[in-house]
Amino acid sequence: MTAVVLGPVVLAANAVDTFVQTFFRGAALGSLYALLALSFVLIFKATQTVNFAEGAMALAGTWFLSMVFVDWDVPGRWLGGPTWLHWCLAVVLAAGMTAAIGLVVERLTIRPLIGQPHFTMAMVTLGLEVVITIIAVDAVHLTPRVLAVPWGTDSFRIGGAIVAWSYLAAIVMAGAAFLWTWRFFKTRAGVAMRATAFDQEAALAQGINVGRVFAISWGVGAAIAALSGIFASMAPWGPSGVASRDGAFFVFRALPAVVLGGLDSVVGALVGGLIIGFAEVFAGQYLADHASILGYGYQQVVPYVVMLIGLLIRPYGMFGTEEVRRV
Amino acid sequence: MLEVANLEVVYNEVALVLRGLSIEVPDGQIVALLGANGSGKTTTTRAITGLLDVHEGKVTKGTVTFDGQRIDDMEPSAIVRSGITQVMEGRRVFAELTVDENLITGGITNSNRAAIAEAHDRVMTMFPVLADRRKSVAGYLSGGEQQMLAIGRALMVDPKLLILDEPSLGLAPKLVAQIRDIIVEINRAGTSVLLIEQNANMALSIADYGYIMETGKVVMDGEAAKLLKDEDVQEFYLGLHGAEGERKSFRDVKHYKRRKRWLS
């Protein structure tokens, strides 16, 4: 996975086509931010931990996908059928393996610290980030790896606008993840999770197994981090769909989206992610004429500017809980 | 049925809150536990339901047994499964969840769908106000409705023992009367009740037996009817002042008398 390099300004034949192209780029980048934000939010809501190991989990996801699909040829070695189907199954498998990492991390490092200051937990996850990344890079000799994305760098046309398949894939993936989350929150396990997030002691009093809620949220959070890592490594963002360590930093670019939307709101993750994504891409496209004043690469600063303005208006994020809960 | 024997609870390893508390809730009865602020009533509930951990509290001496089984070292979820549920002080409904979802959390330890549906119907019949507002977010309910939701939530697993911690807190007298009738109805259906209250009048009017706590232990206990007639209880909890009915100001009461030591 490599850092998202925002391409130079892409001009189509006419203004409308340019807008359509830019719109899809913005929506796709916003979807990736939203996915990452969702992962942050799920983990924060349940365990009040800002998971700084998110980048390592995203990296692990891409790495697992590369291992599973490219190196081991799973499930292709047992299954017939089209390659893209194998690839999708491999993605699910990679997400599952990352979820397992999330479960282990939660059980070993987070659960013993429940009730400790948030800062302590955040430090632990930051340490995990470093450890997992180093293990991945040094012990496992992680050189940039091919992800073998089925659609590669292909794109399709809407009128005169050229849209990469990866953009559509990112949007569909984010849509599916949010839809799934929304459905999940209506199930018994989901209701238990929301109840625990709202009032842990009252949840305990109902007989909710709070430890299991923590485990589920870390597992799901890690899986979503893996998915966002995989989809963020695709062609238009990563040069040719490869996994490498500097991609872990991409995750931190989603932080403005999380903060803007509110750390404890799923809706906030979606809205915040899309706003930041659109702002970044549209600013890159339409303010390019002023690059001499704004400076090269100014669009990467835009998310933080938007976040800052957002925080000035709503210090808890757009959908965040306002009151600090009494313990 | 429930037996708390010589219970001693310490918070943060220094604050001794319960000092040898012993109470008993016999099968099918309503038992009232009365006491002023800070006397350890809520700590007693926590000790029984396994919630001391959350507050850095620990049982250092004594036992809690339920149906002959020691429960003072059990997980909260295991205690709920054994048949004890509670209505926490201050209602503590999940304000962001709907009424139905709050009830789902109440039945979370029961995986039998049919039993949950049946319990849900029972709660809806008992509280028609909730039936009208099943899909609305619990935070928008009135205080009385929230209290009913909290009670309904605790009834979702058909408990053998229901513990209510100050159910009358912050409710209008009319609603207090309604809650009182509900408690009686629940008890009639076969659930034992441990009623923790500051509203002594309400509690003793429906209880079979009563305990009065002060600074972490029981200072007086007896049949509820007897406690209601007791002169000290009348003076300190019911606000009645002697037979002649004259008004008495606490200013006139001698200092040593204000800090009442109970002799029973």
A211 and A110 Cβ atoms separated by less than 8 Å? no
Asked if the model's pLDDT at residue A172 lies above 90, the reply is yes
Kindly determine whether residue A208 and residue B157, on different chains, have CB atoms separated by under 8 Å: no
Nearest Cα to Cα of residue B103 among B157, B161, B58, B177 = B157
Kindly determine whether residue A207 and residue B157, on different chains, have CB atoms separated by under 8 Å: yes
On chain A, the residues whose CB falls within 8 A of the CB of B81 are 207
A272 and A260 Cβ atoms separated by less than 8 Å? yes
A8 contact partners, CB below 8 Å, separation of at least 6: none
Look at B154 and B262; give whichever has higher pLDDT.
B154
Mean pLDDT in chain A? Answer: 85
Tokens of B71: 């429960």
Confidence band (pLDDT; 50, 70, 90) for A3? very low
A43 contact partners, CB below 8 Å, separation of at least 6: A49, A51, A217, A218, A221
Confidence band (pLDDT; 50, 70, 90) for A244? low
Tokens of A51: 């998971």
Look at B137 and A77; give whichever has higher pLDDT.
B137
Cβ of A14: how many Cβ atoms within 10 Å? 11
Confidence band (pLDDT; 50, 70, 90) for A130? confident
- Shortest alpha-carbon distance between residue B222 and chain A (Å): 30
Q: What's the rounded mean pLDDT across residues B175-180?
A: 93
Which residue is closest to A194 within chain B, CA to CA? B97
On chain A, the residues whose CB falls within 8 A of the CB of B50 are 204
**B171, amino acid identity:** L
Confidence band (pLDDT; 50, 70, 90) for A247? low
Highest mean pLDDT out of A65-79, A231-245, A263-277, A283-297: A263-277
Kindly determine whether residue A205 and residue B76, on different chains, have CB atoms separated by under 8 Å: yes
Asked if the model's pLDDT at residue A232 lies above 50, the reply is yes
Tokens of A174: 């984010």
Q: What is the pLDDT of residue A137?
A: 72
How far is Cα of residue A4 from the mean position of the Cα atoms in its chain?
13
Asked if the model's pLDDT at residue B201 lies above 90, the reply is no
B96 touches chain A (CB under 8 A): yes
Predicted TM-score of the model (pTM) = 0.85
Cα(B35)–Cα(B41) distance, rounded to whole angstroms? 7
Confidence band (pLDDT; 50, 70, 90) for A147? confident
- Nearest CB among B54, B96, B153 relative to A206 is that of B153
B23 contact partners, CB below 8 Å, separation of at least 6: B4, B31, B33, B44, B211, B218, B221
- Nearest CB among B51, B104, B157 relative to A204 is that of B51
Number of H helices, E strands in chain A: 12, 4
Confidence band (pLDDT; 50, 70, 90) for A150? confident
Asked if the model's pLDDT at residue B44 lies above 90, the reply is yes
Burial A69-99, CB ≥16 within 10 A → b, else e: bbeeebbbeeeeeeeeebbebbbebbbbbbb
**Within the 151-180 window of chain B, which residues sit less than 8 Å (CB to CB) from chain A?**
153, 157
The CA-based dihedral angle spanning residues A252, A262, B136, B49, taken in that order and rounded to the nearest 10 degrees: 80
Cα(B24)–Cα(A237) distance, rounded to whole angstroms? 68
Q: What is the pLDDT of residue A245?
A: 58
Which residue is closest to A186 within chain B, CA to CA? B101
B134 touches chain A (CB under 8 A): no
B52 and B42 Cβ atoms separated by less than 8 Å? no
